[in-house]
Amino acid sequence: MKLREFLPVLCGTAGDRLKCATFEDLEISAIVNDSRRAKPGCMFVALRGLQTDGHNFIPNAVRAGASVVVSERQVPLGNGVLHFVLHDARSKLAALAAIFHGNPTARLHVTGITGTNGKTTTSFRMRAILEAAGHPTGLLGTIAYRIRSRNIPAKNTTPDSPDIQDLFAQMVETGTTHAVVEVSSHALALHRVCNVDFNVGVFTCLSDHEHLDFHLTFENYRNAKARMLEMLPRGAVAVINADDEHGAYMAERVADGCETLWFGMAPKADVTAKVLTMDMTHTDYRLDTPAGSAEVHSSFVGRFNVMNDLAAAAAAHTAGVGLDHIVAGLERRECVPGRLERIPAPGFCPLVDYAHNQGALQSVLETIRALTTRRIIIVFGAGGDRDRGKRPEMGRVAQEHCDLIFLTADNSRSEDTLRIISEIQLGMNGSKPTHVIPDRELAIRAAVDSAEPGDVLLVAGKGHESYQTIGQVKTPFDDREVLRSAVAECDPAQPAVVQSEA
């Protein structure tokens, strides 16, 4: 693409653009913000990150052949390299990437989903509904990026702006008509989804203790989430959780010219449900929408999953999907990896869930408690180098709902695992048997050995993740595989006794 296409973004005035007229036929081969991906003829945008400063890597990009550099401050460059200094390079990067890829979201129906919990399951449910209606649908989220039959491992919940625009362009090229995107608070704060034309914006819920290591205050976190609703274009629809205490605040932030549709169990909800029956294998409920009512037989369990269904149903309704197709999508037997995922076991019920904050943990445990009279055993920890305020709250929730607790590592990163566990225990009073086993595999195996017939064992925090990070070392680790191995080696009818180390 010629440089002239980017000059409206790169140059503040017509006079500046005139000065660049000599170079407007320069071919731009790529837009990158990682010097390792620089190549001849590319435009390199230097960003200041959390750990590194992209300005330090400008020489690397130039050596790799970058012909244009965009930065937020003056830096020395050799001859033959165009240099633009912009104070808001992050948002400009999003605009440049969208231009380079031909503004692909203008040719897609895009649903963005934000909130503390429920984004992944809601996105999977939305995709199932759209495909039941015959719409080829792409998915970008925590677990994977999916373009038709391709499954691309996800690096971030929401990709950087050059990557997300590239993925949208690939969707358009393959005949995809709809896209569902999980939108993280980091992505919103870092302008990754600027220049994405959302048709629908979904707000699931908000938790007080999440990502405060990055946002510093809850107000910053809430404002980041609200930004997606503020950036909706005229004619788009905001789908908001009527049951969440922050729903009213989010509704106030919806951009002018947009409709608001409410979902939930609250009386004001436009899309709502009444649970008919529920057990550990399914949930039956009556779905009520502006288009009519229908009964849904879902293989997903729990009130929180009904809420995820309602969010997806409301978003699909705004996209013009009929009630029959909404029900067909919600009744698809599709497992969302690591979201209350059941591992086959004789005699007891092992579950793996991504719940890694107190709100998600409470929702999952309340669901399990309502469905069993037997013991609930839990294995969990808390991530290192992340918001520490949620740790005692998670301990309090586990103690309130569980009968036997195993505290262990969960991506401790640079922190000491025992210190993290001690902070979890600040919310506990010792009223429930608690075992401290820092090695996560040993903790899972000990919990399986302790399981008695009828017990429910929840391994929480990592869900679909296939790695464990301790210190600077990232090693393969999958809770589901460890559970399967432990179950295969254990006879739950003869449980071993584990002595408390707490």
pLDDT on residue 209: 63
> How far, in Å, CA of 298 to CA of 295, rounded?
10
For residues 148 and 265, state if they share a domain. Answer: yes
Dihedral sign for Cα 16, 17, 19, 20, please: positive
Residue 116 belongs to some domain of the structure: yes
Q: Which of 170, 113, 104 is nearest to 138 (CA)?
A: 170
For residues 321 and 274, state if they share a domain. Answer: yes
Residue 350 near residue 343, CB atoms below 8 Å = yes
Helices (H), 273-416: 303-318, 323-330, 358-371, 390-401
Residue 501 belongs to some domain of the structure: no
For the chain, the domain total comes to 3
For residues 70 and 114, state if they share a domain. Answer: no
For residues 318 and 406, state if they share a domain. Answer: no
Q: Which of 100, 116, 135 is the last residue of a domain?
A: 100
> How far, in Å, CA of 4 to CA of 21, rounded?
8
For residues 352 and 484, state if they share a domain. Answer: yes
Place of tokens 């939108």: 183
pLDDT on residue 212: 72
pLDDT on residue 233: 96
Tokens of 3: 């440089």
Q: What is the pLDDT of residues 9-63, one digit of tens each?
A: 999 766 677 778 788 999 999 999 999 999 999 999 999 987 889 999 999 999 9
> How far, in Å, CA of 10 to CA of 102, rounded?
17
For residues 35 and 85, state if they share a domain. Answer: yes
For residues 310 and 280, state if they share a domain. Answer: yes
For residues 186 and 319, state if they share a domain. Answer: yes
Nearest-Å Rg of the Cα atoms of the chain is 24
Place of tokens 């790169």: 10
Hey, which bits of 53-194 come out as E strands? 68-71, 82-85, 109-114, 137-140, 144-147, 150-153, 178-182
> How far, in Å, CA of 42 to CA of 23, rounded?
14
What's the mean pLDDT in 108-132?
97
CATH classification of the domain holding 234: 3.40.1190.10
For residues 74 and 219, state if they share a domain. Answer: no
For residues 458 and 349, state if they share a domain. Answer: yes
With cut-offs at 50, 70 and 90, classify the pLDDT of residue 495.
very low
The domain in which residue 52 lies consists of 3-100
> How far, in Å, CA of 2 to CA of 27, rounded?
5
For residues 254 and 389, state if they share a domain. Answer: no
Q: Which of 100, 125, 146 is the last residue of a domain?
A: 100
Taking the model in full, what pTM does it have? 0.92
For residues 76 and 111, state if they share a domain. Answer: no
